[in-house]
Structure 1
Amino acid sequence: MSTVLTELGKHLAGRWAALLLLPGALYVCVVTGAVVLGHAHALDPSVAADWLDRVAVAPASGRFGTVLIAAAAFTAVAAAAGLAASAVARGAEWVWWASGEEPVLRRLAARRTRRWERAEDAVRSALREFTRSGAAPREAAALRAAILRRDAICPEPAARPTWIGDRLHAVDQRVHDSYRLDLTAAWPRLWLMLPDGARTELAGARANVGAAARLLAWGLLYLLPALLWWPAAVLAAGVLVTARHRARAAVAVQADLIEAAVDLYGRELVLLLGVDCPGRLTREAGEAATSMLRKDRTDRSRLEG
């Protein structure tokens, strides 16, 4: 048991250092540089060198106790910055998954809905031209381009304030349209019956989404030293662009894996629930399973009757 606890402690210490301490230490260095250099001497290394010389020759810098306290303070501030980034990441994920009921988010959701509807109108117009032309290559290419522009917003009608929320909501909608299965109610049961390999892939995809959220949080935090030191704004922009790309890629993989899990194991779930499903998963079987999973008395009574 002591060996297990020791190895677990090493693993947790490694994760703590990777997720909080090291990024936090870099952030503290950037904040220090912003305070020392400022906008006036943003790229002047001599100013930083002079500041380091003053710190090095200060009487207190030669005392072991002072150095120890400074190292402990640096570590504590770096850890605090990491915890702040984790909190911001949680907030970012909350916005990503939000349904859009809040006033500000409702306006963002309405804006995305209008964009999707305009893109859908363009697809319909391109489809009419394609049909009228007798499937001419030019019109076919225009139709494909219109579909890609629409699907870039969302594969299903957009209804969430963010692309990420719409991408995952599209999985719910596609599963319901195909099988009449409520994915929100079915997912905990489906997760319990998935094989280890499938669960590992899904857990890895979810971890990548969390990592992208933390990267976004660091990008937002780097905007603070940018108020004093303009190179930090360049760094923040690069981090935010990278975080956006990684978040979309990770969520797209997660959404595809969730839908694939339903396609491959949804029928087994329905059978385990005791619903008759002799062939492929049908809408009738999915609707019966949904009624059982929701514990909906009205629907259950109707099915039993």
Structure 2
Amino acid sequence: MSGFWSGLTGKLAERWLTLLVLPGAFYLAAAATAHTMGWAHALDVHRLTSTVTARSKNPTAGTTGGQVVLLAAVLAGSAAVGLAAQALASVVERLSLATDWRTWPPPLRALAARRTDRRRERWTEAHTAYHRLLAAAESRACDSSRPPQSAAELAAGREERHPFHRTWSRIGPEPPDRPTWSGDRLHAVTLRMDRDLHLHLPIVWPYLWTVLPDPARSDLTTARTTLTKATTLTAWSLLYLPLAFWWWPALPLSAAIALTGRRRTRSAADTYAQLLEATTRLHLTTLATQLGVPHTGAPTPALGATVTHHLHTQPPRPDLS
């Protein structure tokens, strides 16, 4: 038992150090640098080293008690900043995934609605243009009265369609329903499950999770954690931004962190969405077996509709007599 508690304590200390203290300590160092150097001496390394050297010669800093107090203050400050970043990350994630954007405050909701409409219009135009060109190419290929197309003509047709395919695939794999790419990428899984298997994923997923094997759960947990870390990185960029008022290098630093966070968020959302879809398709029959729903072979729309109906519950109707 003592080994269990020591191992648990060690893991908690490691996570506390990695997620809160180290990023927070780096932020405090950047803030101290901004306060010391300012705009006028933003890149004056000699000024920074001279100031640090002068402060280190303070008699209090040379005592054991002073060093302990200083270390405790740095650890506490780092943890506090780290907690602030974690709290801000939850807001960033909510904005990035935009699951509930229709319930946002009116100004934000209006902006999100306009952005969603613009993304949907661009997606529809590119998607329609691509399939119109594809249908024309297939029609020419099936026309026996015309000579077969050469390899150069086929390649030219693909090149003509490629910009439209690239546009609508870059906007989203399915018609946009949210103002962000990451939100639409996750929402696409729900759309595909409903269209392909007549399965309402928000209802089925909690039950499906309980029958998943450990490797599948581990992969999903890791992907979800990666997505959280990516949004946390974006939150750190927002914390670095105010430092630019005192030290201009904080501005490009904040921008670089924000761009990295955005790229990682999109990548993590894509990976997580792929795992969600693959897991649902592969293990739906396992859930059906556990529920006693008869089935044979691969998942079908009939099976998805049956499982959804089996798990869907709602309050009884009121007595209207």
Paired residues of 2:123 and 2:167 also in contact (CA < 8 A):
no
Q: Report the Cα offset of residue 128 of structure 1.
A: 4.8
Q: Report the Cα offset of residue 54 of structure 1.
A: 2.7
User: Matches of 1:297 and 1:287 in 2, distance apart?
Assistant: 20
What percent of counterpart residues are identical? 37
For 1:20-169, what aligned pairs fall within 5 Å after superposition? 20-99=20-99, 100-101=101-102, 102=104, 103=109, 104-131=111-138, 134=141, 136-169=154-187
Q: 1:106-147 CA deviation, whole Å, 9 max, x = no partner?
A: 333223223322322332343355346547321123324422
User: Matches of 2:33 and 2:237 in 1, distance apart?
Assistant: 17
Query: Residue type of the partner of 2:32?
Result: T
The match for 1:223 is 241
The match for 2:262 is 244
Q: TM-score, normalised by structure 2?
A: 0.87
- Which range is displaced more, 220-229 or 115-124? 115-124
Q: Please, what is the CA RMSD of the aligned residues?
A: 1.9
The one of 293, 296, 307 aligned to 1:289 = 307
C-alpha spacing 1:149/1:53, structure 2 compared with 1 (3 Å)? same
5+ long unaligned stretches in structure 1 = 299-305
User: Matches of 1:115 and 1:151 in 2, distance apart?
Assistant: 11
Q: Report the Cα offset of residue 215 of structure 1.
A: 1.1
Q: 1:204-245 CA deviation, whole Å, 9 max, x = no partner?
A: 111111111111111121112122111111211221111111
Query: Residue type of the partner of 1:58?
Result: N
Q: Report the Cα offset of residue 198 of structure 1.
A: 1.1
User: Matches of 2:244 and 2:132 in 1, distance apart?
Assistant: 46
User: Matches of 1:228 and 1:133 in 2, distance apart?
Assistant: 65
Query: Residue type of the partner of 1:252?
Result: D
Q: 1:71-110 CA deviation, whole Å, 9 max, x = no partner?
A: 2111111111100110111111111232321223333322
Paired residues of 1:133 and 1:139 also in contact (CA < 8 A):
no
Secondary structure in 2 aligned to 1:280? Answer: coil
1:10 aligns to 2:10 (yes or no):
yes
Query: How many residues in Structure 1 have an aligned counterpart in Structure 2?
Result: 298
User: Matches of 1:141 and 1:132 in 2, distance apart?
Assistant: 17
5+ long unaligned stretches in structure 2 = 142-148, 317-321
Query: Residue type of the partner of 2:121?
Result: R
User: Matches of 2:38 and 2:315 in 1, distance apart?
Assistant: 66
The one of 260, 284, 289 aligned to 1:271 = 289
User: Matches of 1:279 and 1:289 in 2, distance apart?
Assistant: 15
